[in-house]
A = this chain, B = another copy of it.
Amino acid sequence: MPTTPAYAATSATSPLAPFTIERREPRAGEVQIDILYCGVCHSDIHQARDEWGGSIFPMVPGHEIVGRVARLGDAAQRFKVGDIVGVGCFVDSCRACAHCRAGEEQFCDVGMVATYNSRERDSGAPTYGGYSTRITVDEKYVLRIPDGIPLERAAPLLCAGITTYSPLRRFGVKAGDEVAVVGLGGLGHMAVKFAVAMGAQVTVLSTSENKRADALALGAHHFAATRDTDTFKQLAGRFDFIVDSVSAPHDYNAYLGLLKVDGTMILLGVPVEPSPVAAGALIMRRRRLAGSLIGGIRETQEMLDFCAEHGIASDVEVIAIDQINTAYDRMLKGDVHYRFVIDSASFGQAG
């Protein structure tokens, strides 16, 4: 069992630092993957700093993994050596509950095994994520990366991509719908691309004017600054859907007022404190406030295929692993267009 280089947080207050892990030999039905790129998700920071509680240290974050199949376990047959594949937010689930059987493993009754900061179902060993050069995963939880997507730009699709694609599909965004995207970060920029590809009229709502050019460059049809209170008057009752990717505190009721009758506001960000919701804002126009959580393996594959078909990929800044702590600092300031992606070659020679 060869050692594998990684970067880990050893406590909630430690910066990430070089660390060595062991990856198991692929067992029956498993594949071992040489990691090429791994996206850096905001949830990596939350968990590395134990902001959600219950973090397992040392922690190797990373759940937006793209790599190449290196070895096959017995009976592994969905991939062959050399295939380009992806691993997202989870690597296992109970496989028996109604949600797993329905291909919605993210809602597994027993609880999905997250790609990192979780425990293997059999051994209880901690799972280690993609800030590393190699990972071993059951092939049922591995995605096929279709041809045509630059690999560094494919990595964030495994979390930011499916997190935005799934609700747009599930809540029924269709051509001609008016869709607002609140916040233009890793999630928001993908929501814009998907909604545009689905034929919607897309408006980006962001605090200040300085994201207008970026929003339009991403394909959005309109932009409005939410610091301008006139925005909420002018756009009242305008949207069929609002995709809200913001985790900072903000007034849900103001945004609910922008929905049409039967409109849906989809929450993807989790503010630390609950946000007050006025029942009247929902009742008077029969509006919905909904949440959505990543997507299952089948839907994630559908999303990747949709990306290849529509020429969609994440906009990324590729970094070396030793830039990870600086990247975290920049992300906390919103200073990234729109996702950092670690080039795994920067680990040097894997052990």
Q: Across the interface, which residues of B come within 8 angstroms of A287, CB to CB?
A: 290-291
Contacts A275-B276, A275-B277, A277-B275; is A293 near B283 (CB within 8 Å)? yes
In the complex, A15 has a CB within 8 A of chain B: no
Give the bracket for the number of chain A residues in contact with chain B: 20 to 34
What residues on B are CB-neighbors of A267 within 8 Å? 279, 282-283
Query: Does residue A70 face the partner (Cβ distance < 8 Å to B)?
Result: no
Q: Residue A289 contacts which of B268, B277, B284, B285 (CB distance < 8 angstroms)?
A: B277
- Would you call A269 an interface residue if the criterion is a C-beta within 8 Å of the partner chain's C-beta atoms? yes
A-side interface mostly: mixed
Contact with B along A11-34 (1 / 0, CB 8 A): 000000000000000000000000
Given A104-B261, A107-B261, A261-B99, A278 contacting B274 (CB threshold 8 A): yes
Residues of chain B contacted by A124 (CB below 8 angstroms): none
A99 surroundings in chain B (CB, below 8 A): 261
- Chain B residues within an 8 Å CB radius of A289: 277, 282, 288-290
Interface membership of A199, Cβ < 8 A: no
A284:B288 contact, CB within 8 angstroms = no
Q: Which residues of B contact A226 (CB under 8 A)?
A: none
Q: Smallest CB-CB separation from A166: which chain B residue?
A: B286
CB contacts (< 8 Å) of A282 on chain B: these are 267, 289-291
> CA of A289 to CA of B266 in the docked complex: distance in angstroms?
11
A252 contacts B by Cβ under 8 Å: yes
Does A253 lie at the interface of the complex (its beta carbon under 8 Å from any beta carbon of B)? yes
B274–A277 CB distance below 8 A: yes
- A4 contacts the other chain (CB 8 A): no
Question: How long is the Cα–Cα vector from A35 to B69 in the complex, in angstroms?
Answer: 78
A286 to B291, CA, bound (A): 5
Q: List 15 A-B contacts (CB under 8 A).
A: A107-B261, A107-B286, A252-B277, A267-B283, A270-B279, A274-B276, A274-B279, A275-B279, A279-B291, A282-B290, A283-B291, A285-B293, A286-B291, A286-B292, A289-B289
Given contacts A107-B285, A267-B282, A277-B277, 13 further A-B contacts (CB under 8 A): A267-B279, A267-B283, A270-B279, A274-B277, A275-B276, A282-B290, A283-B291, A283-B293, A284-B291, A284-B293, A286-B293, A287-B291, A288-B289
